[in-house]
C-alpha cells in the first residue's frame, strides 16, 4: 500500500472502526486518562533481519533508554512503555497490523502518547485513528511532507489525516521540504550543472522529487527532465539512454529500494558511468549500496542522520550510554527514537497536574520551544514539524556508506 492508495473512503472506513472501538462519542472526547500511571505505545516493524527491522529495533532501543534514564517517570506520573510490532511477516509492510496497533492504543484508557511509525504510509493509517481520541503521536522517522504540510503533497493533505480538525501528530526529524533544499545544495557542491529527476509511483517518491525540482530550479542547476518509473519494469535502458541524451551530468531519484531503484542505478550507470547519482535517505542503506555494485562510486545521498561527532555534547553521552546499555553501536536512527521519547516525556511533565490529560499533553508538545536536546536546539512549529534543518551528505567509497558533510540549508 502507498500513501496514494489511502483514499478518503479508506480513511473514513478506518475512522468508523476507531469510533466504534471507542464506544460513545462522549467517551471519545474524554481526554483525561484518570490515572497516575500512563502508557506510551510504540509501533515499529521489528521482525526479520533486513535494514528496515534493524532501523526499527535501534529506534525502540533509543526510546527505552530515554524512559529508563527518566526513571520511568514524567513529572509526577509513572510511565509504562509498550513496544508493538507492526509486521506479521518479515520484510512485508502490513497495513492491518498498523491499524491494529493504533486501535490497541486507542482502546487503552491509560494511553497518553504513541511513538511511530517507521514508514510514512503506516502513519497515514495510524494518525487518523489516534487523532479521534486526541492522542499525541510523535514520529522519529517519518519525513513525508504531506503528513503535516500542503507543499508537494497530494490534494486533501494533510487535513484528511486529522478528522477532529486538530493537529495531534509531530516529528523530531526534519521533513522532506528540508531534504529538497539539502539535495539542491549537495548537488551544487558536487558540481552538477544539469539534473535529470526520476521518481517512483507513490506519494513519497513524487513528493520528494517535486521538492527537489523546486529547489534545484532556485539554484544554478537546470532540470534536464522529470520522469516516473514503473517498479515492475524489467529494466530502464531506454530511460538511461534518454538521460544520457539529455546531457544531464547528474540524476536524482525520489523513491525507495522497493521501487526497483537497484535496477535503475545499474542501467543509468552502465549507459553513462560519469553521471552522478543522487538519492534520498530511504536509499542510504548498506543493502542498497552493496546491490548497486560499481554505480556506488558515483552515488550520493542526503539523510537527516548526521555522523556522531556532528551532534552536540549531549549526544555524545547518549551514544556512550547506548553502547553500555545494549553492547552495540547505535544505528543512525536510534538518536531520533531517544529524542521522540524524551520530548514526549517533557510534554507530559510540562502539562503539570494535567499530565494525564491527552489534550493538555498535545498542547504542550506543540508549545515546545528552544528545547536543548541530543539533536540540538529546536522548537515544534504549528504544523508539528521540528525547526531543525541540518541534513547530512553521504557518499559511497569502496562499497561502503561514508559520511561526507553536514548540509545546513539557509532557508
Q: What is the pLDDT along the chain (411 residues), one digit of tens a residue?
A: 345 444 444 444 444 444 444 443 334 357 899 999 999 999 999 987 778 899 999 999 999 999 999 999 999 999 999 999 998 877 666 899 999 999 999 999 999 999 999 999 999 999 999 999 999 999 999 999 999 999 889 999 999 999 999 999 999 999 999 999 999 999 999 999 999 999 999 888 988 999 999 999 999 999 999 999 999 999 999 999 999 999 999 999 999 999 999 999 999 999 999 999 999 999 999 999 999 999 999 999 999 999 999 999 999 999 999 999 999 999 999 999 999 999 999 999 999 999 999 999 999 999 999 999 999 999 999 999 999 999 999 999 999 999 999 998 754
Which residues form the domain of 235? 176-303+391-407
Q: Pick the closest to residue 383 from 157, 98, 203 (CA basis).
A: 157
Considering the domain architecture, whether residues 27 and 168 belong to the same structural domain is answered as yes
What's the grid cell of residue 272? Answer: 553513462
Considering the domain architecture, whether residues 271 and 402 belong to the same structural domain is answered as yes
The answer to whether residues 118 and 56 touch, using CB atoms and an 8 Å cutoff, is yes
What's the grid cell of residue 241? Answer: 539512454
pLDDT, position 73: 98
Question: Could you give the C-alpha distances from 404 to 95, 133, 179, 303, in angstroms and in order?
Answer: 36, 43, 16, 11
Domain count, the chain: 2
What's the grid cell of residue 128? Answer: 487518523
CATH number assigned to the domain comprising residue 295: 3.40.50.2300
Count of alpha carbons within 13 angstroms of residue 409, beta-carbon side = 28
The contacts of residue 98 (CB under 8 Å, 6+ apart) are 43, 86, 117, 122, 125, 126
323 located within any domain: yes
What is the number of helices (H) and of strands (E) in the chain? 13, 15
Considering the domain architecture, whether residues 243 and 360 belong to the same structural domain is answered as no
Considering the domain architecture, whether residues 127 and 45 belong to the same structural domain is answered as yes
Considering the domain architecture, whether residues 248 and 293 belong to the same structural domain is answered as yes
The contacts of residue 362 (CB under 8 Å, 6+ apart) are 134, 135, 136, 166, 167, 168, 347
pLDDT, position 408: 84
383 located within any domain: no
Amino acid at each position: 500500500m502507498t500513501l496514494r492508495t489511502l483514499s478518503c473512503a479508506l480513511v473514513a472506513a478506518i475512522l468508523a472502526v476507531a469510533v466504534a472501538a471507542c464506544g460513545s462519542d462522549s467517551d471519545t472526547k474524554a481526554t483525561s486518562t484518570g490515572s497516575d500511571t500512563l502508557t506510551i505505545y510504540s509501533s515499529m516493524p521489528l521482525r526479520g533481519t533486513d535494514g528496515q527491522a534493524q532501523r526499527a529495533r535501534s529506534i525502540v532501543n533509543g526510546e527505552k533508554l530515554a524512559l529508563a534514564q527518566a526513571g520511568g517517570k514524567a513529572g509526577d506520573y509513572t510511565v509504562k512503555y509498550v513496544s508493538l510490532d507492526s509486521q506479521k511477516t518479515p520484510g512485508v509492510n502490513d497495513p492491518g497490523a498498523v491499524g491494529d496497533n493504533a486501535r490497541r492504543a486507542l482502546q487503552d484508557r491509560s494511553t497518553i502518547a504513541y511513538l511511530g511509525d517507521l514508514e510514512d504510509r503506516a502513519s497515514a493509517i495510524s494518525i487518523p485513528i489516534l487523532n479521534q481520541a486526541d492522542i499525541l503521536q510523535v514520529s522519529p522517522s517519518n519525513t513525508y511532507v504531506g503528513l503535516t504540510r500542503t507543499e508537494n503533497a497530494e490534494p486533501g493533505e494533510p487535513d484528511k489525516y486529522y478528522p477532529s480538525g486538530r493537529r495531534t501528530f509531530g516529528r523530531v526529524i526534519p521533513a522532506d521540504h528540508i531534504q529538497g533544499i539539502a539535495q539542491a545544495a549537495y548537488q551544487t557542491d558536487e558540481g552538477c550543472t544539469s539534473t535529470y529527476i526520476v521518481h517512483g509511483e507513490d506519494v513519497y517518491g513524487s513528493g520528494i522529487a517535486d521538492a527537489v525540482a523546486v529547489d534545484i530550479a532556485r539554484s544554478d542547476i537546470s532540470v534536464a527532465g522529470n520522469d516516473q518509473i514503473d517498479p515492475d519494469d524489467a529494466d530502464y535502458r531506454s530511460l538511461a539512454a534518454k538521460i544520457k541524451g539529455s546531457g544531464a551530468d547528474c540524476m536524482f531519484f525520489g523513491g525507495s529500494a522497493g521501487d526497483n531503484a537497484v535496477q535503475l542505478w545499474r542501467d543509468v550507470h552502465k549507459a553513462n558511468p560519469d553521471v552522478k547519482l543522487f538519492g534520498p535517505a530511504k536509499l542510504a542503506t548498506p543493502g542498497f549500496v552493496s546491490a548497486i555494485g560499481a554505480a556506488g562510486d558515483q552515488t550520493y545521498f542526503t539523510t537527516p542522520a548526521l555522523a556522531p561527532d556532528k551532534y552536540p555534547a549531549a549526544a555524545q553521552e547518549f551514544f556512550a550510554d547506548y553502547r553500555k546499555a545494549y553492547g552495540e553501536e547505535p544505528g543512525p536512527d536510534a538518536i531520533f527514537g531517544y529524542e521522540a521519547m524524551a520530548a514526549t516525556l517533557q510534554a507530559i511533565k510540562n502539562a503539570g497536574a494535567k499530565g494525564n490529560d491527552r489534550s493538555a499533553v498535545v498542547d504542550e508538545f506543540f508549545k515546545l520551544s528552544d528545547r536543548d536536546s541530543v539533536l540540538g536546539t529546536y522548537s515544534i512549529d504549528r504544523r508539528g514539524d521540528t525547526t531543525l534543518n541540518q541534513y547530512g551528505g553521504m557518499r559511497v567509497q569502496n562499497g561502503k556508506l561514508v559520511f561526507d558533510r553536514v548540509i545546513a540549508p539557509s532557508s
